[in-house]
Chains A and B, each alone.
Chain A
């Protein structure tokens, strides 16, 4: 018997604080022990207003649907029609987002190229340059032009099918890249012209332009370097999407890429990932509005990313006005990241399948986010590429299923009018009515 609490007196159960919850306490303890912020990969993990808060209104009497397997529903998209002599024509509007060789293993990059090419879409380099394997296995390759300019060279620039000037990314708008010493292997070091094994800190601003007026001249140079052939994208981390999109258009972008805070990163401070930027749901409509105000919607294409997981997300993004989407985290999962078969190894790393996000440490048992040759060899690029192709096909088929049900003969015919919101927050952000009402918060007073 507990002497201080006789049996007839109820015991007050331990109560955890909602403010200082267990995760918060463990982070304070970790910070106190190490003196350094927590770094991880991936995007925002907190619950955010997202595409799940939207629903499609299927066709009924007021409009009729298309037959599921018999009536055509187009999925193709052309990117770069504004200035480029050679726009990109993709069979599906689901593209692969930029991820670097360095952050990812060579086999993972090859698998991304194989999977994307199999379904007729593009893949994208990252902060580390273009590898021959990546170029060789990617039918359509977008070459990122980043502040660090690691591995940037004229020959590779001319081998690319499009150029993506990276201003920011959703996981860390305003932040630079990071690749810790464990992943600066001899090949990565050679490609980036860095000493092996050091912590690489990429700049957050470009070295030779600041502001939209300079950017306009930079884009002129890039076009002159490549004979005005290639579409030039500008990638933005979603923060002020209306003004940033307008300025990207003013600077001369063919395509604007908008990445919400759920978009992944190879390595960044946890506090940055969770507390900077806005959800992609809140970013699409302002960006589309900017394009419409400038008379450039569908002339400058909009690619959105950050938390795209299934065909419904694809369809919703397109219905809100995007021309295409990009996937990163989901593509890695399709390759084999966080696979349950690796649970034992995840446990040894202090985590569990489905939660592994220490991509910066280079110890990925799936062989994807690593430069360890033994671990990297675990990933079969042919099989992993096939899994990605399967997944991309499912996304496309799912989006078609929804579009047909809404009576649309092309994914691009989806429109905001096809959507309603489950929450007031989502209704306000997506600017569609709350389900069962005609009310859009902030409008229709």
Chain B
């Protein structure tokens, strides 16, 4: 049976139970701008790893179930929805586009992502946004410990609570948390929310379909005390 079945002129359904991972990714990676309007639905993902990685056109992809590690890895423009939970490293190193997780995400969600929006409806585990490099991440639930560790730039919005050591060794990324923060990591501090922060946060909340007001959030950022090593700060490590 052919794993790829066209339902309508523009749309495609790929059944991972009968087609292989390589066939799926090869087909998605071969798309060009002319196929951008196409909607792809991936059936029976059953927690498979490396689903829909390296897609470079703004095609819409729906993964109909739970995904494994590195789903939508290095996404560069695609609009990918996961109707389920995701394993480690969803949207890792994303360059652009949208990755929307309707369930929970495991650890390292959005790791090192450079651009685009990662929207997680549920909770994200440890190290969400680790070393992020410009992406936006909105988590409607909670985030685990060491989230935004060494985050370089971009914005992490947490509508729930944050675990231990939030923003440890942070660079210039902004963190917004509505709920409680168990503890802040080294060199992460609470900051005043200025007009620019509010504007960024409001836009992200709107994009994510959240109705919370920016004023309900607390902004965290780098104290920049570790930017240059000094022996008096050694205890922070």
- Seen from chain A, the residues whose Cβ lies within 8 Å of a Cβ on chain B are 34-36, 148-149, 152-155, 157, 181, 193-195, 198-199, 201, 203, 207-209, 214, 217-218, 220-221, 224-228
Contacts and interface: CB of A to CB of B under 8 A. Distances in A.
A221 B53 contact: yes
Contacts of B107: 208
Contact of A217 (B56, B70, B131, B171): B70
B222 to A, nearest CB: 9
B130 interface: yes
Nearest to A201: B169
Interface of B: 21-22, 25-26, 29, 49-50, 53-54, 56, 68-70, 73-74, 76, 88-89, 92-93, 95, 107-108, 111-112, 114, 127, 130-131, 133-134, 149-150, 152-153, 169, 171-172, 226-229, 231-232
Given A149-B131, A209-B89, A227-B29, A221 B50 contact: yes
Contact of A149 (B54, B93, B171): B93
Contact of A198 (B70, B74, B228, B232): B228
A193 B22 contact: no
Contact of A203 (B88, B95, B131): B131
Q: Is the interface of A mostly helix, strand, loop or mixed?
A: loop
Nearest to A36: B231
Q: Is the interface of B mostly helix, strand, loop or mixed?
A: loop
A73 B13 CA distance: 56
Contacts of B134: 193
A213 to B, nearest CB: 10
Given A181-B228, A195-B171, A209-B88, A217 B112 contact: no
B95 A208 contact: no
B231 A224 contact: no
Nearest to B152: A193
B216 to A, nearest CB: 29
Contacts of A203: 131, 150
A224 B227 contact: no
B169 A193 contact: no
The list of the 4 closest CB pairs from A to B, nearest first, reads A35-B231, A208-B89, A208-B108, A149-B112
Nearest to A145: B93
B96 to A, nearest CB: 10
A195 B172 contact: yes
B137 to A, nearest CB: 14
Which of A34, A207, A220 counts the most B-chain CB atoms under 10 A from its CB? A207
Contact of B54 (A181, A199, A225): A225
A214 B69 contact: yes
Contacts of B232: 35
B152 A224 contact: no
Contacts of B127: 207
Nearest to B56: A154
